[in-house]
Chain A
Amino acid sequence: MNLPFQPVVLWSDALLFLLVAVLIGFLLHVRRHEHLRAPWARVGQSRVGMATAVVLAVYAAIGVLDSLHFRPALPAEPGQPVQYGNEVLSVLDLMAKPLRSQVEKTYSAPFALHLYAKENLTLADGRQVRDYPRLKYGGAHLSDERERAGDIARRAVVGVAWGLGLAAAVVLVAAGLLARRNRMPPGDALVRLARAPELAALRSALLTLTLLLVLAGSVVQLAGHYHILGTDKVGQDVFYLALKSIRTGLLIGTLTTLIMLPFALFLGVAAGYYGGWVDDVIQYLYTTLNSIPGVLLIAAAVLVAQVYIETHPELFDTAAARSDLRLVFLCAILGVTSWTGLARLLRGEALKLRELEYIQAARAFGVSHLRILSRHILPNVGHLVLITVVIDFSGLVLAEAVLSYVGVGVDPAMASWGNMINGARLELAREPIVWWQLAAAFLFMFVLVLSANLFADSVREAFDPRAERRT
């Protein structure tokens, strides 16, 4: 096979795809069951819920694009079998090629034309001066430095126009779908889309999307010609790093849950349902785990993993595979230390459900324990699991940042917000200050965590049993 690339599936990719498959399966399941659909329909009615869902979807899309990995073919000599490079790239890397390749020498500020450090320069007349040199790529197309402001404005306006155009197209498509569903003329549908109170949530989703498209349009126009968020110590584009960090953050937030869920579900429900010595053992287990400081446990586990990875280089054919394994390992250890909260919650709920009369009725029918657990208890704790998972997500994203800062997080070579913050730490003391690295990490993380929290709120509200009366 002479493909121009060789697909690579890292461990975390595989788990992520599994997660996506689980999610799709879950969605199909929900669609088929009226009682499951109702609360999600309530999330769909919530303006905040829909707006944040759009933001989260954009993050997720970037994360998935960044998880489609491959190794590009090296320029081959004729007649030779194709050779593939050692570097593992993702589809996102391909799309953001200029960002990845346009590496400066060291720090430069956002939209700067000059490096942030002085160098010895030879002027045209042969004199030697010490000054800030022009950047190799940032604004290199400008012949006159005074054109910068005008150029940026021009490109931004073009980008905004693009964004608005795309947004208009999306709105028209939405109106068209609405018209088809309600069998009304498209014009009326457009009016309804703009006015109808029951479509308020859809409107806020579209508004959010418009904002994001406008932003994306300008970024696309500008990012190829300027470092819009500056460059870091080794001259890499900070915007690119922040984009790449999205995948890391999302993985930590979701894979951890995937790993923790079976523990929490099984142990929590078993403890509550069976009671007696099973309960005693499980309670003992999580009380003990809970009384060890989490950071210590994580630090110890990560260090052990690091040693193992370093002493077995033969197991990894690329650097990416190595740092990926460490990421998966981090998720696993975070999962192992964080199942206790949910397990305790589920234990309490199962304890309550066990006494409920429909469970007693099932027992009076001689229904087996396993069947009672799977048919009666599990479906009735589903909402608790869901709410916990959504709420935990943002906590885990933040935990990654803290752990990487402490040095027991992801591989230092991996793009992550924690590593960005860690890198920016020392430069904060510099004069003048290098602020953009920290600001970029903060901005990306803030938007994600805020959206996740607001989304979690609307999910919780929709699943609140008291909400059922209101509809």
Chain B
Amino acid sequence: MTGLVLRDLRVEIATGGRRLAPVDGVSLSVAPGECVALLGESGCGKSLTALALMRLLPEGLRIADGEARLGETDLFALPERAMQQVRGGRLAMVFQEPMLSLNPVMTVGQQIGEALAVHRALAGAAAGAEIRRLLEAVGLSADLSASYPFQLSGGQRQRALIATMLAGEPRILIADEPTTALDVTVQAQILRLLKRLQAERGMGLLLITHDLDVARDMADRVAIMYAGQIVEWAPREALFAGPVHPYTQKLFSVLPSAQRRGERLDHIPGTVPPLGTAFSGCRFADRCDQSWARCRKEAPGFHERAPGHFARCHLMVEPRPAGPASAPAASGQAVEAQAMPLLRVQDLAVHFPQRKGLLRRVAGWIKAVDGVSFEIAAGETLALVGESGCGKTTLARAILRLIEPTAGSVRLGDAAIGELQGEALRRKRAEMQIVFQDPFSSLNPRMRVGEILEEGMQALRPELAKAERKALVPVLLQQVGLDAAAALRYPHAFSGGQRQRIAIARALAVEPRLLICDEPTSALDVSVQAQILNLLQGLQRERGLAYLFISHNLAVVGYLAHRVAVMYRGRLVETGPAAAVMAEPMHPYTRLLLESAPGRGLGVAEAVEAGTGGEAGCPFAARCREVQPRCLVAMPALRRLNDRQVACHLRE
């Protein structure tokens, strides 16, 4: 067999006199032409496994044990020089962030050429022809050979990187979260590309991901990783038909989707054990709702449940003794929105000047938000979806007046936000707050959590005395499910999900009526995402909060939102009740988004990547599969159809 076989990999790191093993006994194999997905939450050791295979572990980490065979070659026994030949040759790797893996001062063609020279001794005209062939194979125009990485879009960069990696004709390609930084539409394209290349070249693909749906679309076999070990290893059909390990089962049950609207999501208590945790039995025991005494005493073996289907759990060989069953997930009722609009946005526009030349004269305008109107009622959730760069965050900031809008008006209750000044604006600000995407940059690392929570109150609720403010801090923390002791600690002591809770508590401190959530869960693991979504729903029930929920994850939107607004290049192209829009999208762009969402197979036809279309016609015309002659000359207006609105000539 010429595939990749990894046996009992153990990666060690020495800190403070202790040896810790972020990867502890991982075995897997990838056959030629096969796709294996390595799936797990962040920090479980997926990337380190991949880097160990490439022998590219960061400083301080080393391979302590294990064997890796690529065909006949023993990878861990090779001298470094020979390994350089293997790396990028027979064994190649694509990283999550293509901008960091491409050399910014070399053109794409030069980088591919370099790989060709090293691994296939190609030069001159032969190399030039091969570069063109490779670029076309990854769906890039051969003209891009002379471009520098910064001139490419995110998807193009990832394609260019894949082309570089293909140059050595690898037998095995490792892809570490190759699409995590990309939009769903681009993600679908890249995944399709990888699938096609794998089939065409009979290449083995080790796909590292945290997304069950991506694994469902791509993998032949799936390995589920938890705390440095593989806990379940199964053919795809078997796994998706019936996961047997309690952790895998939980991973399935925390996923939000439109079908689960109104249900409280199941959740996994606690977080992934941090590196350095001492385990005495099963590593999942603390979070497992089926654990019993044996789980804490004895580490489970890796048992074969069905042919080829393994799981690391005592339940595989012994039924759970009778005992108190874990409580079933409580189900809450869907929150019903009220009719009275709380926020009314009318023709809002934000145009950024584009300066050029020495004198920085205004050469043009970037219309980040271009005439957007919508309403949100008290207690309602409006989801705003669209690809990155379409203006969602700018819109949010303009509503809060963190950016001055160019035109249009924002009314909150009875006040026009745009006309307020000074004290009045300040008071109104207390009524709308924001929760940001990145839980690591949204909290000042130099302030204690208590100070962070108090800061807003101090500015917006001056009527509170210092002692009253201090007394509110534990109440707020408890509302978002944190310990009161958290107030004395600094943000770095918290995990991503906990930080997001702190950010929510900070916003709640000033008692807002509207909360703008800018992709609040996209940086979080699925189990933590479920906790945050449950929290947001609970708060809405208790306080009648309205949410403007910005997201690109359509499953989350379908689960949470009452209404959806789809945004494309600064304009709304479709709005309507969430269930209706998801079930029956009317705008071609909405349809594209829905079809690109992972987990539905990869059957959609290739869509053109976002380009800059003509000025006059429909902005989506360049990518639209149903484009008509009049689309190129006339801009479709947003038209009302019953309870929905669509901007497309097909719907007139």
Mark A residues whose CB is within 8 Å of B.
34-35, 197-198, 356-358, 360-368, 375-376, 379-380, 468, 470-471
Contacts and interface: CB of A to CB of B under 8 A. Distances in A.
B308 interface: no
B444 A365 contact: no
Given A35-B492, A356-B441, A470-B15, A366 B429 contact: yes
Contacts of B506: 361
A21 to B, nearest CB: 23
Contacts of B455: 362, 365, 367, 375
Nearest to B423: A366
B16 A198 contact: yes
Interface residues of B, number: 31
A161 to B, nearest CB: 37
A363 B443 contact: no
A361 B460 contact: no
What secondary structure prevails in chain A residues at the interface with B? Answer: helix
A197 B60 CA distance: 16
Given A35-B446, A358-B441, A360-B397, A366 B460 contact: yes
Given A198-B16, A362-B455, 5 more contacts: A360-B397, A360-B402, A361-B503, A366-B460, A367-B455
B362 to A, nearest CB: 14
Given A35-B445, A366-B426, A380-B444, A361 B15 contact: no
A41 to B, nearest CB: 12
Interface in B412-465: 425-426, 429, 433-434, 436-438, 441-447, 455-456, 459-460
A429 B510 CA distance: 79
B252 interface: no
Contacts of B16: 198, 471
Given A364-B433, A365-B510, A471-B15, A379 B446 contact: yes
B436 A357 contact: yes
B459 A367 contact: yes
25 contacts: A197-B17, A198-B16, A357-B436, A357-B437, A357-B438, A357-B442, A358-B441, A360-B397, A360-B434, A361-B442, A361-B503, A361-B506, A362-B444, A364-B400, A364-B433, A364-B434, A365-B456, A365-B459, A365-B510, A366-B429, A368-B459, A375-B447, A375-B455, A376-B444, A380-B446
B16 to A, nearest CB: 7
Contacts of B503: 361
Contact of B442 (A197, A358, A471): A358
A468 B503 CA distance: 23
A470 B60 contact: yes
A361 B436 contact: yes
B490 interface: yes
A358 B434 contact: no
Contacts of B456: 361, 365, 367
Q: What are the 3 closest A-B residue pairs judged by CB atoms, nearest first?
A: A357-B442, A357-B436, A379-B446
A367 B457 CA distance: 10
Interface of B: 15-17, 60, 397, 400, 402, 425-426, 429, 433-434, 436-438, 441-447, 455-456, 459-460, 490, 492, 503, 506, 510
Nearest to A38: B492
Contact of B436 (A197, A360, A363): A360
Contact of A363 (B15, B402, B444, B447): B402
A210 to B, nearest CB: 26
Which of B397, B455, B506 has the largest number of chain A CB atoms within 10 A? B455
Contacts of A360: 397, 402, 434, 436
Contacts of A365: 429, 455-456, 459-460, 510
Contacts of A376: 444
Contacts of B17: 197-198
Contacts of B436: 357, 360-361
Contacts of A366: 425-426, 429, 459-460
Contacts of B60: 470
B490 A364 contact: no
B434 A361 contact: yes
Nearest to A36: B446
A122 B136 CA distance: 101
Nearest to A366: B426
A364 B429 contact: yes
Which of B17, B444, B455 has the largest number of chain A CB atoms within 10 A? B444
Contacts of A35: 445-446, 490, 492
Which of A198, A364, A376 has the largest number of chain B CB atoms within 10 A? A364
B405 to A, nearest CB: 15
A471 B274 CA distance: 13
Contacts of A468: 492
A35 B449 CA distance: 13
A357 B447 CA distance: 14
A379 to B, nearest CB: 4
Contacts of B434: 360-361, 364
A468 B493 CA distance: 12
A367 B451 CA distance: 13
Contacts of A34: 490
A362 B438 CA distance: 15
Nearest to A376: B444
B410 to A, nearest CB: 14
A34 B16 CA distance: 19
Contacts of B444: 358, 362, 375-376, 379-380
A355 to B, nearest CB: 9
A77 to B, nearest CB: 64
A393 to B, nearest CB: 25
Contacts of B441: 356-358
